[in-house]
Amino acid sequence: MEFKSLVTFLPDARWRVVSPDRVNLLGEHVDYNQGMVLPAAINRCVMMAAKPRADRQVMLKALDMKAEICFSLDHLVERIDTEGKPLPGWALYPAGVAWALHNSGFSPQGVEAVYASDLPVGAGLSSSAAVEVAFAVLWQAMGSWDLSRMRLAQICQMAENRYVGVNCGLMDQFTCAHGIARHALYFDVRSLEWQPLPLPPDTAIVIADSGIRRQLADSAYNRLRADCEKAVRLLQDHMPGINSLRDVSLADFHRHSGGLPEELRLRAQHVVEEIERVRQAGLCLVREDAVGFGRLMMEGHASLRDLFKVSISELDTLVNIAHELDGCYGARLTGAGFGGCTVNLVDSALTETFADQLRKEYFLKTGRIVETIISAPARGAYCESLSV
């Protein structure tokens, strides 16, 4: 996707916005449990051309969706367009950002924007967060607001939690806002401390899209979060000082989890063990240990499949094939699960061969076509003025 293709729809654009998608290398279903995660922004993105409007209307053209919408900043609470019709799902994200900004003390302006992504919606690579952050940095630039990237990410999370209705953690919005080229981001969701860590030398990220789509707000995501919170309340009978699964050590979990209902116990076990995997993975990156990092990826996938139960057969097949191919250090599903993509850490000299073999083997086993994306960590979202 090139920016010039956007400005054909908006030739008098005043702003150019680029907001990356993200892939999570390790730490799945951990951010809303206040743990540590290891995502990376990637060099696939949402790109937007925009100009201000003199009125209070937001006029959007989403090229991916082949859809347009116009809504008023004065009727965000009603979630309706200018014709009084309910906003479609895709429009809730920019409208939600405007609503969250307003509720945080900022006054977004009317705007006309055209945008598109070079990743498919619902692939599990957080195109929704990329859209949210894109509009947030646009309105910040238009208003010249003094707003930190962390606060901007939190406002976008508020939009998704309270306006869209997905009870997500902060990881996706954080990553889209803070990405650094060639680096993963070791992010402590509780303290908000973070550290960029370079990928092991001579490695690359290969993403494989299963083609299976899920609607996150309609999936089991919110129920999974509620289950984790319920597990904490039950464990507090034995450990009254804990506030989240982040506070539960492996030893304490095995000591006190026997009384949990089976489903809750398995899900909580995944979270407790996954947080420890992220700690170990961070050390692997410091030591430039691609083999150790890849082993933790495979363990994480098995846990998501067997304990948290958010994998599907297509994702399992992709991971199993990848594990047998030359040059693959590790593979796992990425995102919430229920469909979407796998992420693979691969020897950079073998990425093309790996991607080609993965496509062929997956088709032979399933009869389905898989899209592979050779990717690299990228910088976070930014907005540029086009004014001369």
Write the DSSP assignment of 318-354 as a string of letters: HHHHHHHSTTEEEEEEESSSSSSEEEEEEEGGGHHHH
Name the 3-class secondary structure at 51: strand
Q: Given this model, what pLDDT does residue 42 score? A: 94
Give the DSSP letter of residue 246.
Answer: G
Q: Given this model, what pLDDT does residue 122 score? A: 54
Q: Given this model, what pLDDT does residue 197 score? A: 98
- Beta-carbon count within 10 A of 230 CB: 15
User: Among residues 31, 81, 172, 227, which one is catalytic?
Assistant: 172
Query: What is the Cα–Cα distance from 36 to 52, expressed in whole angstroms?
Result: 39
Q: Given this model, what pLDDT does residue 247 score? A: 97
What is the token pair recorded at 386? 């086009």
Q: Given this model, what pLDDT does residue 7 score? A: 86
> The CATH number of 3-197+378-385 is which of 2.70.160.11, 3.30.43.10, 3.30.930.10, 3.30.230.10?
3.30.230.10
Q: Is 381 left (phi over 0), alpha (psi -120 to 50) or beta?
A: beta
Our CA angle for 275, 204, 45, nearest 5°, is: 85
Q: Given this model, what pLDDT does residue 126 score? A: 56
Superfamily of domain 203-375: GHMP kinase, C-terminal domain (3.30.70.890)
- Beta-carbon count within 10 A of 129 CB: 30
Locate CATH 3.30.70.890 in the chain. 203-375
Locate CATH 3.30.230.10 in the chain. 3-197+378-385
Give pTM, 2 decimals. 0.92
Q: What is the pLDDT along the chain (388 residues), one digit of tens a residue?
A: 677 788 899 999 999 999 999 999 999 999 999 999 999 999 989 999 999 999 999 999 999 889 999 999 999 999 999 999 999 999 999 999 999 999 999 999 999 999 998 865 555 555 889 999 999 999 999 999 999 999 999 999 999 999 998 888 899 999 999 999 999 999 999 999 999 999 999 999 999 999 887 655 445 778 899 999 999 999 999 999 999 999 999 999 999 999 999 999 999 999 999 999 999 999 999 999 999 999 999 999 999 999 999 999 999 999 999 999 999 999 999 988 888 899 999 999 999 999 999 999 999 999 999 999 999 999 999 999 997 5
Q: Active site includes 247? A: no
Average pLDDT over all residues of the chain: 93
- Beta-carbon count within 10 A of 261 CB: 12
Q: Given this model, what pLDDT does residue 212 score? A: 86
Q: Given this model, what pLDDT does residue 387 score? A: 75
Q: At what angle do helices 127-143 and 171-178 cross, to 10 degrees?
A: 60
